[in-house]
Amino acid sequence: MKRILLACSSGMSTSLLVTKMQEYAKSIGEEAKIWAVGQHEAKEEMKQADVVLIGPQMSFLKGELQNEANQYGIKVEVIDMRAYGMADGQAAYKQAVSLMEG
């Protein structure tokens, strides 16, 4: 099972994207736990994730979050701006999977 954490300022703006990503994963027969948290919970929640995607509005925190994530061997990346803006679950899911595989 893939475990994908999304983090944004409050955890609210990514909730639609989480739903779209879950729908896409299910449509291709993959099991995935995908959840969203606010930036203050991200460091604690990343312990349970395979990869962390952060909202574009949090890109300034990428370095700090990646430093934290290094101890768990996971990658942190900013969600593609277009995928984020369009709530494109397929694109965001593929971005997360490519980070896990890469």
Over residues 40-84, the pLDDT tens digits come to 999 999 999 999 999 999 999 999 999 999 999 999 999 999 999
Element (H, E) at 33: strand 32-38
* Cβ-Cβ contacts under 8 Å for 60 (sequence gap 6 or more): none
* Domains identified in the chain and CATH numbers: 2-101 (3.40.50.2300)
Q: φ and ψ at 58, to 5 degrees?
A: -110, 10
Question: CA-based angle 68:4:101, to the nearest 5?
Answer: 85
**pTM, rounded to two decimals:** 0.95
Q: What is the pLDDT of residue 10?
A: 73
Average pLDDT of the chain, as a whole number: 95
Environment class of residue 95 by beta-carbon count within 10 Å: exposed (0-12), middle (13-18) or buried (19+)?
A: buried
Q: What is the pLDDT of residue 14?
A: 87
Token output for 52? 């962390």
Q: What is the pLDDT of residue 11?
A: 61
Catalytic residues: 8
